[in-house]
Amino acid sequence: MLENEGTKLVALRGLYLEAEREGQKEAARQYPNEAVKLSPALPWASKAVLEQQSAAGDWDAALATLERSRSAGVIGREEAERKRAVLLTAQAMEEERAAPDKAAKLAAQAHKLAPALVPAALIGAAAYARTGDVRRAARMLEDVWKRASHPDIATAYVQLRAGDSVLDRLERARKLASMRRDDPEGNFAVAEAAIAAQHWEEAREAMMPVIAGHPTQRACLLMADIEQGQYGDRGRMRDWFARAVRAPRDPAWIADAYVSDHWMPVSPETGEIDAFEWKSPAEQLWPPLERSELELLAEPIRNSAVVGEQAEEAMPDATEADAGAEAEPDMTAQPAGAAEADDQGEDGGGDDREQDEGRIRESGKILPLVRPPDDPGVDPDEKDSDSKAFRLF
């Protein structure tokens, strides 16, 4: 089939699929490239070549392949622009440290093609900040924030200037939150900046709308920081830590069931470009948090002395409690015939056991033993230590 011009493309596709199935990467790279040379408008070959070049980090070649595919009509204009923005962002990520000027230009091009692409704005803002253009970096972050709020955008915006004080960063967080009112990410930004500035009341107030909804692990951990920092209350702090274990997970970058804490231009599982999405992972399989308990924990402790007095008033007097305990019926008492049956069923230990059970019942705390313990112990009258030891097992 490879020798026949009419069937060569079909043969190349079959060989490519077989090489992919067998894990023969070198052969899988050769067949699509040869097919593209014969037919640039072949969808499967163009897609395979583009993914292979992107996985190898050959961004210039990937951009050229993408342009040929768009010109040949293999992909539409919108999809081509989106993929081009992703490839430019990936290229800017590699250039940001060594050549921030070039990285800023690449990120600006990507931001123009895909204004809501968060990684492009993050790389562009970092590059502009390295070149000293903080104003342009702030504008890029603000533009993306208005379209799609993201915690990394908030962090980059608040910490844009390295020399800012904690109060300056708190003011920037307030400004960012005002651009998207009632957005949880704005509340998170203000709360984190307020915690850094030790403005505990403002941090708690910012977190109240988040706690009133469906608090995630991140929200519970922030509340633990507030309790520890404002009151030094380790009990409430540990309570929030415990709730964080059961709370829903926060969004993350996910592609093909692969969860990552940072964005990547290509899926490590399939090699697909622009596969990562910012979304919540699968929920845990345990009961949700109780809303009433969360609201109670989120309330500040106004006056610990008053709380202590109210707790003492709510507790009954010791003498009254003792009298009530005496008046209560003894739920552990046995019928009259039960003790006699036990005495008859035991050899010589009936009196001692009855006295022990009587003392246990009087304490009212431990239920009487209804059967001998699992370990019968060792009879001190036996002289053979080996037989005694083996009888225990």
85 and 58, same structural domain? no
121 and 179, same structural domain? yes
190, part of any domain: yes
∠ at Cα 134 (133, 136), nearest 5°? 75
365, part of any domain: no
129 and 57, same structural domain? no
239 and 223, same structural domain? yes
pLDDT at 379: 52
87 and 69, same structural domain? no
The whole domain housing 35 covers 1-75
CATH number, position 34? 1.25.40
∠ at Cα 125 (121, 128), nearest 5°? 140
11, part of any domain: yes
d(CA 24, CA 17): 10
d(CA 318, CA 27): 85
179 and 109, same structural domain? yes
Q: Are 45 and 39 in contact (CB under 8 A)?
A: yes
Q: How many domains does one find in the chain?
A: 2
Bridge-based pairing state of the strands 277-279 and 258-260? unpaired
Domain boundary among 23, 49, 75: 75
pLDDT at 341: 40
229, part of any domain: yes
123 and 106, same structural domain? yes
167 and 102, same structural domain? yes
Q: Are 267 and 275 in contact (CB under 8 A)?
A: yes
25, part of any domain: yes
d(CA 264, CA 284): 25
Domain boundary among 75, 98, 133: 75
pLDDT at 178: 96
Count how many Cα atoms sit within 13 Å of the Cα of residue 153 in the half-sphere of its side chain.
26
Domain boundary among 42, 75, 108: 75
171 and 246, same structural domain? yes
pLDDT at 99: 94
d(CA 91, CA 105): 11
256 and 215, same structural domain? yes
386, part of any domain: no
391, part of any domain: no
113, part of any domain: yes
Q: Tokens at residue 240, please?
A: 């929030």
pLDDT at 126: 95
d(CA 384, CA 83): 84
100 and 35, same structural domain? no
Encode the chain (393 residues) as per-residue pLDDT tens digits.
Answer: 655 555 667 677 777 677 767 766 666 777 777 777 767 778 888 888 898 899 889 999 999 999 988 988 888 999 999 999 999 999 999 999 889 999 999 999 999 999 999 999 999 999 999 999 999 999 999 999 999 899 999 999 999 998 899 999 999 999 999 999 889 999 999 999 999 999 999 999 999 999 988 899 999 999 999 999 999 989 999 999 999 999 999 999 999 889 998 999 999 888 889 999 999 887 554 444 555 555 555 565 544 444 444 444 444 444 444 444 444 444 444 444 444 444 444 444 455 555 554 554 444 443 444 444 444 445 555 555 454 444 443
87 and 70, same structural domain? no
d(CA 78, CA 108): 18
Q: Could you give the strand order of the β-sheet that contains 252-255, starting from the edge strand earlier in sequence?
A: 258-260, 252-255, 277-279
